[in-house]
Amino acid sequence: MTICIAAKHLVEEKQVKLITGMQTWQEATLVADVGKQAQVPILLFAAAAITPSLTQFRWPSLLQMATNSSAEMNCIAAIVQSFNGRRVIAIYEDDVSGSESGMLALLSEALQSVGSEIEHLVLLPPSSSLSDPKEFVHDAIAELLSKQSRVFIVLKSSLPLATHLFKEAKKIGLMGQESAWIISDTVSSLLDSVDTSLISSMEGALGIKTYYSEETGAFLHFKVQFREIFWSENMQEDNLEPGIHALRAYDSITAISRTLKALGNC
């Protein structure tokens, strides 16, 4: 079932009042077209790196709940500057449509502002399209041994491809003291649920991650509920800590529930 058909089913058959949870801008715009026709709000967990012009007029019901990509790229550039890195290697797993490469443009602009540039781009196809992801990643990473730069920025990657990426990089000696690895929020936000073997292969990498206070009463209440429910449904899992995606899902549903109650709809 395509995402458009699924959205139409939710609107027409299930009579939903709001749709939430899309992780990519491409998915969100497809669902937003459905939502616009049915006048159903769409709450998006990810934002486009470069938001298309006239977005608020084309999709007036589309709401974004995500980290500012421009601010994140400026942060990465500041880290590169602290390394005195003049050239960097960017690693990017594209999506099926190739629609989100705006992050590369933002990174390039941020790097130029601190006197750095992208020496080489490793553009990886979607993990799902590769018959042997491990071998493909190995070949792509092995080529980096001939490059001058030893500052690597993993701008975007799925967890399966990131797992191969860091394990292969460690095998060929690119995770040593002479190398600097920076991972964006799209990767670091997935690390709450990975096993120790991946974490050990990433030792020394710096990650950008969305900050949220873990000391507030609201978060601690959510954490207790999450751990109890998650453990009851996933007893084989060792890591019971909620990540940013779980927190955003909780916040979005809480906000929706309060809004509906205020409007007298439930």
Question: Is the pTM here over 0.85, yes or no?
Answer: no
* pLDDT for residue 14: 84
Is the separation of the CB atoms in 6 and 24 below 8 Å?
no
CA angle 109, 156, 4 (to 5 degrees): 110
C-alpha to C-alpha distance for 213 and 222, rounded to whole angstroms: 12
For residue 89, the SS3 value is strand
Q: Which CATH number fits domain 69-207: 2.40.10.120, 3.40.50.2300, 3.30.930.10, 3.40.50.300?
A: 3.40.50.2300
* pLDDT for residue 119: 93
Place of tokens 């916040």: 251
- Residue intervals of the chain classified under CATH 3.40.50.2300 are 69-207
One pLDDT digit (tens) per residue for the chain, 266 residues: 577 788 888 888 888 878 887 767 777 778 888 888 888 888 777 666 555 555 677 777 777 776 678 888 999 999 999 988 899 999 998 865 444 567 888 999 999 999 999 999 999 988 888 889 899 999 999 999 999 899 999 998 888 898 899 999 999 999 888 899 999 988 888 787 676 667 778 888 999 888 888 888 888 999 999 988 888 888 777 777 888 888 888 888 887 788 777 766 55
**DSSP 8-state class, residue 51:** P
- Residue 87: phi and psi, rounded to 5, are -130, 140
Helices (H), the chain: 3-12, 25-38, 55-58, 69-82, 102-112, 133-142, 159-171, 185-188, 196-201, 217-233, 244-262
Bridge-based pairing of strands 42-44 and 62-64 is parallel
Exposure string over 5-22, b if 16+ CB within 10 A, otherwise e? eebbebbeeeeebbbbbb
